[in-house]
Amino acid sequence: MTSFDAAVAFLEKHEVSLLLLDINLGERSGFELCRRIRESYDMPIFFISARTSDDDVLIALNIGGDDYIKKPYTLNVLLAKVKAVLERYEKAREAARQAASGAVRSWLRG
């Protein structure tokens, strides 16, 4: 997918575990898409870009990106980062489910 609008339409119809996002998305920016996604979704977002400016990295991380990978990169490093963040997100989701379940049980007993 190479456009902002196509990405938004895709996310509205499909469940996504992780998003790999470039900064340049035609006439709109990956930064803008990241902000929009963070309004409604909780998923890992990795920026992958040939842009190497520290300013770009800081913007990406400050608006909700989980990582910024500069091109060129190796597939092994990308896969290791994806695996680590997906495991962390899944553990956090499971902890939240358990906490919610415990709160409901406590409320029912109370």
Residue 78, pLDDT score = 96
- Domain range for residue 89? 4-109
Domains identified in the chain, total number: 1
The pLDDT tens digits for 39-59 are: 988 899 999 999 999 999 999
Q: Is the dihedral angle over the CA atoms 68, 41, 62, 100 positive or is it negative?
A: negative
| pTM of the shown model | 0.82
21 membership: H or E segment, kind and range: strand 19-21
Q: Which residues contact 108 (CB under 8 A, 6 or more apart)?
A: none
Q: What share of residues in the chain are helix, strand, coil (percent, to 5)?
A: 60, 15, 25
The pLDDT tens digits for 80-102 are: 999 999 999 999 888 888 888 87
CATH code at position 80: 3.40.50.2300
